[in-house]
């Protein structure tokens, strides 16, 4: 068997990326995603595409943020691993599978092949997440009416809240950041993400209870493709009161009032309380995301 040839694509040969079947449904998952041709790479064996990857970033990013499309032909795990190992960008890898897709033998086989290639390239699983999509057909949840919401112009208020929220978090990405650089790193990474989103800064809101005490924050946002539930966080001393649901409802209604026809959200599968809140608020699961990372690399 000949060695695979790794090729970075451009506008002239971008069509090669479409030469593989799509059992994981990536084309549907990324129908609104813009991938730069020069951030797409393929592995060819005897002239046939046997693995492909699309690296992605925002329009102003000079380097990719992650790999959000990666699949491998059956039996070509090593070619897929070579594709990842040789890439100039060593960033997080995510798979976006159809909801319940691994119950389909074809989807599961394709996912297992891609996962094996990722592991062979040094990646390890980080977390599995539920992806949600609210649309007007889902209906708007009623506001519980327990909290008052207001914008806050001072980033320091949000940074302080994030430090406190991440001091007791279930979020795998936050826990990874804490392991690498403490709560301060986790809080600052969240704040940087909020600023990275192209939505207005004045959308960020602080929630207060009837006594005027801050109980949490929520960040209605837009990314490059849709409105998103950017962040929901309750301060540790106010947990146990169900306020995360109130925050999620307000975030949903706020974005709907801004004209959003689709609102994306996500939570770790292990965060059972937040998953229950999404279900209660009428956000259906549409896909399942599996994040892989390189343990020795800060993504």
Domain edges within the chain: 5-122, 138-286
Rounded Cα distance, 286 and 284, in Å: 6
Distance between the two ends of the chain, CA-based, in angstroms?
34
Tokens matching residue 46: 């005897």
pLDDT digits over 137-183, tens only? 999 999 999 999 999 999 999 999 999 999 999 999 999 999 999 99
Q: Name beta bridge partners: 45.
A: 48
Strand order in the sheet with 40-45: 5-8, 40-45, 48-56, 66-72, 92-98, 285-293, 124-134, 263-268, 227-234, 214-222, 205-208, 148-151
Q: What is the DSSP letter of 289?
A: E
Select from 126, 55, 56, 46 the least CA-distant residue to 87. Answer: 55
Helix axes 243-257, 272-280, angle to 10 degrees: 50
Neighbours of 130 (CB within 10 A): 22
3-state secondary structure of 278: helix
User: Tokens at residue 170, please?
Assistant: 């279930």
Q: What is the CATH number of domain 5-122?
A: 3.40.630
pLDDT tens digits for 259-290? Answer: 999 999 999 999 999 999 999 999 999 999 99
Beta bridge partners of 71: 52
Nearest CA to 132 out of 47, 258, 252 is that of 252
pTM, rounded to two decimals: 0.93
Nearest to 159 by CA among 233, 245, 244: 233
The correct answer on CATH 3.40.630.30 for the domain covering 138-286 is yes
Same fold, 5-122 and 138-286: yes
Model pLDDT, residue 222: 97
Tokens of 63: 């380097």
Count other Cβ atoms within 10 Å, centred on residue 201: 11
User: Which positions of the chain have pLDDT values less than 50?
Assistant: 297-299
- The answer to whether residues 84 and 53 touch, using CB atoms and an 8 Å cutoff, is yes
CB distance 5 to 21 below 8 Å: no
- Quote the pLDDT of residue 296: 65
Give the per-residue pLDDT at 299: 42
Q: Residue holding tokens 């008052």?
A: 148
């Amino acid at each position: 068997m000949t060695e695979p040839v790794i090729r970075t694509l451009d506008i002239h040969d971008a069509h090669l990326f479409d030469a593989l079947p799509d059992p994981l449904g990536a084309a549907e998952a990324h129908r609104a995603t813009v991938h730069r041709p020069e951030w797409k790479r393929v592995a060819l064996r005897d002239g046939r595409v046997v693995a492909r990857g699309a690296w992605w970033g925002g329009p102003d990013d000079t380097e990719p943020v992650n790999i959000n499309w990666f699949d491998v032909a059956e039996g070509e795990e090593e070619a897929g691993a070579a594709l990842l190992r040789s890439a100039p960008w060593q960033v997080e890898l995510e798979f976006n599978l159809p909801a319940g897709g691994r119950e389909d033998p074809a989807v599961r086989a394709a996912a297992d092949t891609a996962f094996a290639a990722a592991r062979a390239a040094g990646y390890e699983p980080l977390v599995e997440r539920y992806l949600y999509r609210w649309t007007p057909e889902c209906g708007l949840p009623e506001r519980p009416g327990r909290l008052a919401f207001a914008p806050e112009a001072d980033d320091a208020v949000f940074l302080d809240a994030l430090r406190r929220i991440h001091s007791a978090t279930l979020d795998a990405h936050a826990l990874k950041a804490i392991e690498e650089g403490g709560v301060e790193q986790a809080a600052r990474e969240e704040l940087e993400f909020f600023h990275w989103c192209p939505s207005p800064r004045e959308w960020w809101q602080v929630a207060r209870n009837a006594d005027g005490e801050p109980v949490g924050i929520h960040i209605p946002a837009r990314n490059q493709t849709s409105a998103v539930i950017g962040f929901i966080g309750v301060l540790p001393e106010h947990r146990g009161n169900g306020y995360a649901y109130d925050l999620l409802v307000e975030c949903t209604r706020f974005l709907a009032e801004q004209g959003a026809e689709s609102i994306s959200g996500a939570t770790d599968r292990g965060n059972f309380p937040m998953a229950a809140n999404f279900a209660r608020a009428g956000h259906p699961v549409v896909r399942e995301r599996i994040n892989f990372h390189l343990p020795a690399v800060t993504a």
